[in-house]
Structure 1
């Protein structure tokens, strides 16, 4: 999509696991042959959580499947470099960012969450206007605005 034709979209902020779905896998299809992968299940849950959280978007962006990171040709290297440089803008333009806190069990406190130490956390917290947090079972925890004090305590920002 170019220019003013860019549609509203949601974006997934998450920590990568060992069993993520890749750009190559999703572009080669059929997708269902990868449904056993935890990354596939994460993307399905991300798509299902959007309407539950009151957000209906035709497009969702997930870095693991939207950026070609594994190819060794120069085109893919240039694409990866451009993607890394564009991340803040993509997060800034997003309608809503869903943050999946895989290590946050519903009955535990935020102190158990390790995702806030990642280098990308700063742009993923600051760039989007609307952020919704989810625990390991995709239960909605709250929005960035609702959790402002807790986020400040954990991150210092």
Structure 2
């Protein structure tokens, strides 16, 4: 892992970052950021680092950190293998950092703290794709203003951050695991964020879902499809299929089912509505944050079905797309006319 020495401004290769005490910078790219090659030339000629890198080193050094990692200059992006490897480990690097400095270049300090908080809420930093994992992964974040002054920490500003991002307090403070958050809700977090390259919309979520897949710049929107396929293979959560404000299949399903008989051929031709069962863009998950899936075993017990009647879902990729089966249950037969309450062993109450 290549880092900057905050004393000298020179690169240092750290063989095992887990044993190192280092700071890490989170920021939005603006204009021409200094690249790895440019910093190497600067080090040869004893020239000055950019103001952003230099000030970041000063802040880290003032807090007792000798090493600092900055994505814009510590990754050699001319090497596709190094870039891919860095994306693979980036979530872990932010998670293992002793401190993360989030530099908000568009937030100016003000004597009124409420004014600063209002400026923070509309900061560009909260609109970028990569800063999502940079917000969630570190345990300790210090937010810095345009003047490199401390605005507050993730802990002291958690209420404002939750309001802006929609991410629960428990996730931000690491009292709740990401594995406990439905897939659709995690997808919702990035629905309004943007990345410079379309592939990064998917790649910036690899750490959020603990997914390891090759990065192939040039594949375009195919990256989102591959991410959803990988998630489906690793996480047993069908909320990944619940996207869009109104799922495009919903109304057409009821139209096709109205007055239908038990004929096995009656139903809905999904391919006429949408090319795949997967979302085509992250924006389609905008309202998915309200989805809470019911675990398969709980649903099975509640409906009184056997493993044979209601087996766990199985997904098979084929040249024609994704092959799977979804149980179609009659609401009239499965649920009585009045609401019932079911409680699972963990205390979760379901209203049906």
Considering the TM-score relative to the shorter chain, is it more than 0.5?
A: yes
TM-score (norm 1): 0.85
Structure 1 residues without counterparts, runs of 5 or longer: none
Q: Which residue of 1 aligns with 2:165?
A: 155
Superposition deviation, residue 47 in structure 1: 1.3
TM-score (norm 2): 0.39
Q: Which residue of 1 aligns with 2:332?
A: none
Q: 2:68 aligns with which of 60, 68, 81?
A: 60
* SS of structure 2 residue aligned to 1:64: helix
Structure 2 residues without counterparts, runs of 5 or longer: 1-13, 111-115, 168-352
Q: Which residue of 1 aligns with 2:25?
A: 12
Report if the CA contact (8 A) 1:103-1:112 is conserved: no
Q: Which residue of 2 aligns with 1:21?
A: 34
Highest RCO, 1 vs 2 (Cα 8 Å, sep ≥ 6): 1
How many residues matched? Answer: 146
CA distance in 2: counterparts of 1:154 and 1:28, whole angstroms: 40
Moved more, 92-101 or 41-50: 41-50
* SS of structure 1 residue aligned to 2:82: helix
* SS of structure 2 residue aligned to 1:103: coil
Q: Which residue of 2 aligns with 1:98?
A: 101
* SS of structure 2 residue aligned to 1:21: coil
* SS of structure 1 residue aligned to 2:156: coil
CA distance in 2: counterparts of 1:155 and 1:140, whole angstroms: 21
Higher-helix-fraction structure = 1
For 1:1-157, list aligned pairs within 5 A: 1-3=14-16, 6-29=19-42, 30=44, 32-35=46-49, 40-52=50-62, 55-69=63-77, 71=78, 76-107=79-110, 108=116, 109-157=119-167
CA distance in 2: counterparts of 1:9 and 1:105, whole angstroms: 27
